[in-house]
Chains A and B, each alone.
Chain A
């Protein structure tokens, strides 16, 4: 790994590191085509190709892939991978307890909640006095379906930047759900189809509906069934869920709220619903043109990623002297760090879906 052009104005000069007995951060973790690699510990974080040893932050398919020899992740992430890929998704698995330290070849590793989806974790990697936190995907908004993000003090904080532009400001999710319920009351003869990613977002939307007092059955697309059942088994009450099947004819869905993966609503599947209003729960819905292009009538700005204000607040809170920015809109966050006098650089990792929210 060659040094980037960014000047390290707070750390001692790099050539002094061996003498001082501390490790250069880029020797502890650096990007390789497979993903973020730790040479002394010989493991990857969220590798996009099959590797020997993988540490996984959370169960979204661009971060958690099958085919690694061994996987270390939280129990819930391992369960979710098992549901998605089958129990044999890796040769061996090990569950990480949140907050506990595991030592791999002299490198200390600990998992901490990231507040993204159920089971999601940040991974802290510490070796010879240098600590890097790879946060994976995270958010700071309250979410009843997963443990809240904990800021971990560190030397280098690796942050996502999915919504790394000052235009992305997520409103409180309760306001968004209130708009959905208002529209459902306004158009009682139509069904409301809510597009939401199958892991995390969908369950969060259902839970928000329940917290807002909505007690009718929620109809779900088949792709959501097993994950929603798993959430319920983990003590997250989603109320009565019913499959959105056609047996009863179209009239059954008049006034109903139906949740499914966004792709299903462009599909023939959606034809069973009477004059549907298409809703999409995503941070991207902040931008009107994106809603319009997607044919979304009721955009719900509900995101499992940090918005601009959360990103910048988190960067400050970790106290990190250096910020590495992974997938998303790196340039704006790097620019903001520069203005704040914090060293920052983009990592240019490939293979993570910028669009997924």
Chain B
């Protein structure tokens, strides 16, 4: 249990991806079964502890200590799980010779019934030290919030076994905790587990951005072009009565889109873009789509207002026939016929974009016919469907980003290599009438600049600090003073969380405008106009 607790403690405070991967692979290497598999399940959200509820925690702890002292403690710490782990009274007689293992803890929690849940939980807390108590409580409350996605955990498994992450993704949904067969394979002690489960995820094919000079070397006749829809990539798999929608990285998102999943009356694996609206009438904007994202459950009203559909652009399997080795041209023919048999309010075909040469396509790319199109995709007619991101067969050619000139308002210190630099910037644009202009923050960016530029901005921040709040400094920014940043971004969403009413997608610093006076930075109306398009 202590190893797992220590892993959680380290992961939550380690900002760098490589650092997290090192911690995870070290853990997999040094901890045996079933503990490492259970830890993995806890991290990926695949561990289910039903009968023990977090609500009982507060009752349990105030039965054991003065409620006033508990109140002072909770006020100070601010996190219930952490407070309870720290204040839980340690009764010397209760501490066993060794702390329970993760496997024992999980077994006891999973075996608990609703009525003896509190007793089981308090018994476990009595037997553990502070870090282990915190980990036990986190297991019970679910949601570890340690900054490790399921995707990153799978990458760590791939690193650990020196295999490609797509192999893990393909296997994943057929496996269950504690993943003993998976670890045995990754350690070279057993064959790769065979997947017998239904409706599994197939690793997706990804594209490369069009770089400078790429197109000159390519023959337009070799490629098909499609619009690049700015929805979310999904894979729809239906097999043997099981229907699943997977994200690009193999996370099962079916629960968030029951309306689409219910319409999957087929036996096939389709690749496409999830969008909202009715494909026969109108495609919703990204703001509309956002209403459906990141939700665990979705109300009937939401489903009616923003119905989900899938714009299909590839087919990987029909019935028992694996089509991935076929050239794109043939897969596309099969797809066209197949989509014709599906519910037209839930499935349609991604249309081709006709073009004679790259110049003609360039013009179409710059002026797409719908706001949710963010560019064009190029696909070689003869390309098979391969997992990963091979260079050559598929390209994405995105619309140029939007830019806005904004004024630096706050700067925050970075992490790791950047911990001595002010490297996260909040910037704003002007609002208010003449003579009453004020800056309203519109976004935050922490990349896009060179190391040399970072040093310059850092010096500027230190020399122009107005106030300090912990790791954040507010920087002098008014009509006459301020650093203007050219910020590039992919799109703009309405936001009720931000005072400005807008939220940028993928903002980054594209240029430092040392030359530009602060009062010539853009106004909020410029951004609002983008929203209304």
A, B from the same assembly = yes
Given that A186-B22, A297-B14, A298-B13 are contacting pairs, would A335 and B72 also be in contact in the complex, using a CB cutoff of 8 Å?
A: yes
The answer to the question of B367 belonging to the interface, with a C-beta cut-off of 8 Å to chain A, is no
Q: Which A residues are in CB contact (< 8 Å) with B180?
A: none
Given that A268-B420, A271-B420 are contacting pairs, would A167 and B83 also be in contact in the complex, using a CB cutoff of 8 Å?
A: yes
The answer to whether A165 touches B12 (Cβ under 8 A) is no
B340 to chain A, nearest CB (A): 54
The answer for the CA separation of A293 and B413 in the assembled complex, in Å, is 10
Q: Which B residues are in CB contact (< 8 Å) with A169?
A: 86, 130
Q: Which residue of B lies closest to A270 (CB)?
A: B420
Q: Which A residues are in CB contact (< 8 Å) with B23?
A: 186
Looking at the complex, which of B61-69, B222-230, B396-404, B479-487 is the stretch in contact with chain A?
B61-69
The answer to whether A165 touches B471 (Cβ under 8 A) is no
The answer to the question of B79 belonging to the interface, with a C-beta cut-off of 8 Å to chain A, is yes
Q: Which A residues are in CB contact (< 8 Å) with B12?
A: 288, 292
The answer for the CA separation of A289 and B86 in the assembled complex, in Å, is 14
The answer to the question of B495 belonging to the interface, with a C-beta cut-off of 8 Å to chain A, is no
The answer for the CA separation of A275 and B420 in the assembled complex, in Å, is 11
The answer for the CA separation of A276 and B19 in the assembled complex, in Å, is 11
The answer to whether A288 touches B415 (Cβ under 8 A) is no
Q: Which residue of B lies closest to A332 (CB)?
A: B72
Q: Which residue of A lies closest to B13 (CB)?
A: A297
The answer for the CA separation of A168 and B83 in the assembled complex, in Å, is 10
Q: Which residue of A lies closest to B15 (CB)?
A: A297
The answer to the question of A356 belonging to the interface, with a C-beta cut-off of 8 Å to chain B, is no
The answer to the question of B417 belonging to the interface, with a C-beta cut-off of 8 Å to chain A, is yes
Q: Which A residues are in CB contact (< 8 Å) with B6?
A: 179
Bits for A177-189, please: 1 = Cβ < 8 Å to B, else 0: 0010001001100
Q: Which residue of A lies closest to B75 (CB)?
A: A165
A166 to chain B, nearest CB (A): 4
Chain B residues numbered 128-172 whose CB sits less than 8 Å from any CB in chain A: 130
Residues of B contacting A: mostly: helix
The answer to whether A286 touches B86 (Cβ under 8 A) is yes
Bits for B1-40, please: 1 = Cβ < 8 Å to A, else 0: 0000010011011110001001100100000000000000
Q: Which residue of A lies closest to B414 (CB)?
A: A295
The answer to whether A288 touches B87 (Cβ under 8 A) is no
User: Per a CB cutoff under 8 Å, which of B13, B87, B416 touches A167?
Assistant: B87
Q: Which A residues are in CB contact (< 8 Å) with B73?
A: 165-167, 332
The answer to the question of A331 belonging to the interface, with a C-beta cut-off of 8 Å to chain B, is yes
The answer for the CA separation of A276 and B15 in the assembled complex, in Å, is 12
Q: Which B residues are in CB contact (< 8 Å) with A267?
A: 420
Total inter-chain residue pairs, C-beta < 8 Å: 95
The answer to whether A278 touches B87 (Cβ under 8 A) is no
The answer to the question of A171 belonging to the interface, with a C-beta cut-off of 8 Å to chain B, is yes
The answer to whether B420 touches A294 (Cβ under 8 A) is no
B141 to chain A, nearest CB (A): 15
The answer to the question of B82 belonging to the interface, with a C-beta cut-off of 8 Å to chain A, is yes
Bits for B379-394, please: 1 = Cβ < 8 Å to A, else 0: 0000000000000000
Q: Which B residues are in CB contact (< 8 Å) with A329?
A: 72, 76
B58 to chain A, nearest CB (A): 15
B126 to chain A, nearest CB (A): 15
The answer to whether B13 touches A292 (Cβ under 8 A) is yes
The answer for the CA separation of A289 and B12 in the assembled complex, in Å, is 10
User: Per a CB cutoff under 8 Å, which of B22, B70, B415 touches A187?
Assistant: B22
Bits for B85-106, please: 1 = Cβ < 8 Å to A, else 0: 0110000000000000000000
B192 to chain A, nearest CB (A): 29
The answer to whether A165 touches B72 (Cβ under 8 A) is yes
Chain B residues touching A, range: 35 or more
A268 to chain B, nearest CB (A): 6
The answer to whether A266 touches B419 (Cβ under 8 A) is yes
Chain A residues numbered 333-350 whose CB sits less than 8 Å from any CB in chain B: 335-336, 339
B93 to chain A, nearest CB (A): 17
Tell me which of A169, A265, A269 has the highest count of chain B C-beta atoms within 10 A of its own C-beta: A169
The answer for the CA separation of A4 and B326 in the assembled complex, in Å, is 88
The answer for the CA separation of A286 and B130 in the assembled complex, in Å, is 10
The answer to the question of A224 belonging to the interface, with a C-beta cut-off of 8 Å to chain B, is no
Tell me which of B73, B413, B470, B471 has the highest count of chain A C-beta atoms within 10 A of its own C-beta: B73
User: Per a CB cutoff under 8 Å, which of A165, A288, A298 touches B82?
Assistant: A288
The answer to the question of A72 belonging to the interface, with a C-beta cut-off of 8 Å to chain B, is no
The answer to whether B66 touches A335 (Cβ under 8 A) is yes
User: Per a CB cutoff under 8 Å, which of B68, B69, B420, B421 touches A265?
Assistant: B420
Q: Which B residues are in CB contact (< 8 Å) with A165?
A: 69, 72-73, 76
The answer for the CA separation of A275 and B175 in the assembled complex, in Å, is 37
Q: Which A residues are in CB contact (< 8 Å) with B15?
A: 297
The answer for the CA separation of A292 and B147 in the assembled complex, in Å, is 12
B60 to chain A, nearest CB (A): 15
The answer to whether A289 touches B78 (Cβ under 8 A) is yes
Q: Which A residues are in CB contact (< 8 Å) with B14?
A: 297
Q: Which B residues are in CB contact (< 8 Å) with A335?
A: 66, 68-69, 72
Q: Which A residues are in CB contact (< 8 Å) with B86?
A: 166-169, 286
B472 to chain A, nearest CB (A): 10
Q: Which B residues are in CB contact (< 8 Å) with A289?
A: 77-79
The answer for the CA separation of A271 and B79 in the assembled complex, in Å, is 34
Q: Which A residues are in CB contact (< 8 Å) with B77?
A: 167, 287, 289
Given that A276-B419, A287-B82, A336-B69 are contacting pairs, would A293 and B471 also be in contact in the complex, using a CB cutoff of 8 Å?
A: yes
The answer to the question of A25 belonging to the interface, with a C-beta cut-off of 8 Å to chain B, is no
B62 to chain A, nearest CB (A): 12
Q: Which B residues are in CB contact (< 8 Å) with A293?
A: 470-471
The answer to the question of A113 belonging to the interface, with a C-beta cut-off of 8 Å to chain B, is no
The answer to the question of A48 belonging to the interface, with a C-beta cut-off of 8 Å to chain B, is no
The answer to whether A275 touches B413 (Cβ under 8 A) is no
Q: Which B residues are in CB contact (< 8 Å) with A117?
A: none
The answer to whether A294 touches B78 (Cβ under 8 A) is no
Q: Which residue of B lies closest to A168 (CB)?
A: B86
The answer for the CA separation of A299 and B9 in the assembled complex, in Å, is 9
Given that A266-B419, A336-B69 are contacting pairs, would A186 and B26 also be in contact in the complex, using a CB cutoff of 8 Å?
A: yes
B137 to chain A, nearest CB (A): 13
The answer for the CA separation of A40 and B78 in the assembled complex, in Å, is 46
The answer to the question of A296 belonging to the interface, with a C-beta cut-off of 8 Å to chain B, is yes
Q: Which residue of A lies closest to B6 (CB)?
A: A179
Tell me which of B26, B77, B413 has the highest count of chain A C-beta atoms within 10 A of its own C-beta: B77
The answer for the CA separation of A142 and B157 in the assembled complex, in Å, is 42
What would 26 A/B residue contacts be, using CB atoms closer than 8 Å? A165-B69, A165-B76, A166-B73, A166-B86, A166-B87, A167-B73, A169-B86, A179-B6, A183-B10, A186-B23, A266-B471, A268-B420, A275-B417, A277-B416, A288-B82, A289-B78, A289-B79, A293-B471, A295-B414, A297-B13, A297-B415, A329-B72, A331-B72, A332-B69, A335-B69, A336-B66
5 pairs of A and B residues whose beta carbons are closest in the complex: A167-B86, A270-B420, A166-B87, A332-B72, A167-B73
Given contacts A167-B76, A169-B130, A332-B69, 14 further A-B contacts (CB under 8 A): A165-B69, A166-B87, A167-B73, A187-B19, A266-B420, A270-B419, A276-B416, A276-B417, A288-B79, A294-B470, A295-B419, A298-B10, A298-B13, A335-B72
Residues of B within 8 A of A (CB): 6, 9-10, 12-15, 19, 22-23, 26, 65-66, 68-70, 72-73, 76-79, 82-83, 86-87, 130, 413-417, 419-421, 470-471
